[in-house]
Amino acid sequence: MKLWKGRFSKEATSSANEFNASIEFDQRLYKQDITGSIAHAKMLAKQGILDSSDAQLIEKTMLDILKEIEDGKITFTIEQEDIHMNIESILTQRIGQPGKRLHTARSRNDQVAVDIRLYLKDEINEIGKLLEALKDTLYTLAKNNQDTVMPGYTHLQRAQPVTLAHHLLAYYQMFKRDEERFSDCLKRTDSLPLGSGALAGTTYHTDRDFLAQELGFANVCPNSMDAVSDRDFAVEFLSCSSICMMHLSRFCEELILWSTTEFNFIEMDDAFSTGSSIMPQKKNPDMAELIRGKTGRVYGDLMTLLTIMKGLPLAYNKDMQEDKLPLFDAVDTLKASLSIFTEMISTMKVNIEKMEKAVKSGFMNATDAADYLVAKGLPFRDCHEVIGKIVLYCIHAGKAIEELSLEELKGFSDLFDQDIYESIDIRACIAAKKSKGSTSFESVKEQLNQIKK
């Protein structure tokens, strides 16, 4: 029997029931729903709206139901539509009258809103822990690779030498910002919608501040219509998740490139690679590719919710029942991606010699050679041209700049001296960087120190 049967003279068809129901996916909120109901019953009793004995019976029975759900002893029904009505009807079957009083001064609209916020608050904390673990792993990897030199790229062309530590710390900064974004999103999620009723508030002397305290919310949503129709916090969460997945995906793209025979900078651990069903020699970086692919899914989740919300008049509309699918999907995808990614990079092998070898070709010291001439008094634009001509000469001669004799170099500019060779040594190029936040060994050490603090 439907909880709202009074006004109806006909049963819904089974197809309409099935189409309308969300129990298949919102049963995930059973714990939050029970927690919210217990707090609501306590508040009603404190305000003299419900007998204390009824509130106690509701609490005790709700805790029994919680345990039975966790033990897999309860079957939900499509007839009862969603998690809220399923639990309420089980409660009422067991205790009768007091169960029927629970929904006083409450609507499913503020109920579902509080459930989602309780759920998301916990998940944001879990994601925070996963980001911490990832940052710790990056910190350790960077610390151990301060002397590992590699090509830094622009346009995916060899550009200037950097240390692997510097490259890894770039990602550290991205994930640090992600963490900040999630904790900022948490502030707006941490507001209590319960007590707003269907949209207009209730006629009872409720105590929403008490509810906020009981349920651990920092504050109370100030407008009842906003409280039941706001899903900004969820959109914001999906946006933070999309940005975080974008960072993971960029990193994955690099790891995929780096593990090709062409680069050969890293080797993924066997435990995080897969083979081919036909080509016996293959070892594929499937985990990284999947994270890159799943990023598209999370972007889709963000677009889904933005699109659901864009045409909705105030206040609650049933469209909003569809908010849970993208939200749950993004939470699951992001959490799985973060944890597999952390395991994957902490077990990969870095081919230090291959990275170092790659730095030796591609004229990665050309900018430093130009800077050498600047130090000798030539304007930078002229230096750029001189070195450009030298590079062209080297390409034809099949040599690196440091392989040219001093006579050959003097042929391009008489400012060259013997000290050019030490100035364009790869490690010297890295060490010579002076600007704050640069790839110099000193600067990377400083970045690590800042992080440690």
Residue closer to ligand ARG by CB (options 51, 319) is 319
Amino acid at 272: F
Among 92-100, 261-269, 316-324, 334-342, which window interacts with ligand ARG (CB under 6 A)?
316-324
Contact flag: residue 22 with ligand ARG (CB under 6 A): yes
Q: Reduced to 3 states, what is the DSSP secondary structure of residue 3?
A: coil
Number of chain residues interacting with ligand ARG (CB under 6 A): 11
Which residues, including other chains, have CB under 8 Å from residue 208's CB and lie 6 or more apart?
A: 192, 194, 195, 220
Structure token digits, residue 171: 């990602």
Are 440 and 430 within 8 A, CB to CB?
A: yes
Amino acid at 213: Q
Are 101 and 48 within 8 A, CB to CB?
A: no
Are 323 and 117 within 8 A, CB to CB?
A: no
Residue closer to ligand ARG by CB (options 79, 269) is 79
To the query of whether residue 155 is one of the catalytic residues in this protein, the response is yes
Exactly one of 87, 102, 112, 130 binds ligand ARG (CB under 6 A); which one?
A: 112
Contact flag: residue 321 with ligand ARG (CB under 6 A): yes
Are 419 and 371 within 8 A, CB to CB?
A: no
Are 233 and 188 within 8 A, CB to CB?
A: yes
Amino acid at 167: H
Residue closer to ligand ARG by CB (options 23, 246) is 23
Per-residue contact string for residues 145-184; x = within reach of ligand ARG by CB under 6 A:
----------------------------------------
Contact flag: residue 320 with ligand ARG (CB under 6 A): yes
* DSSP classification of residue 332: H
Per-residue contact string for residues 258-297; x = within reach of ligand ARG by CB under 6 A:
----------------------------------------
Min. distance of Cβ 113 from ligand ARG in angstroms? Answer: 9
Least Cα distance to 171 among 252, 260, 292 occurs for 252
Exactly one of 316, 341, 372, 441 binds ligand ARG (CB under 6 A); which one?
A: 316
The residue from 155, 396, 405, 435 that is catalytic is 155
Contact flag: residue 309 with ligand ARG (CB under 6 A): no
Residue closer to ligand ARG by CB (options 108, 117) is 108
Please report the beta strands in 261-357, taking only residues with DSSP state E, as ranges in sequence order.
Answer: 266-267, 349-350
Are 431 and 440 within 8 A, CB to CB?
A: yes
The DSSP code sequence of 377-417 is T--HHHHHHHHHHHHHHHHHHT--GGGS-HHHHHTT-TT--
Site for ligand ARG in 65-84 (CB under 6 A): 82, 84
| E strand or H helix that includes residue 251 | helix 232-258
Residue closer to ligand ARG by CB (options 109, 295) is 109
Contact flag: residue 108 with ligand ARG (CB under 6 A): yes
Contact flag: residue 443 with ligand ARG (CB under 6 A): no
Residues of the shown chain interacting with ligand ARG in the complex, contacts defined by CB under 6 A: 22, 26, 82, 84, 108-109, 112, 316, 318, 320-321
Catalytic residues: 155, 276
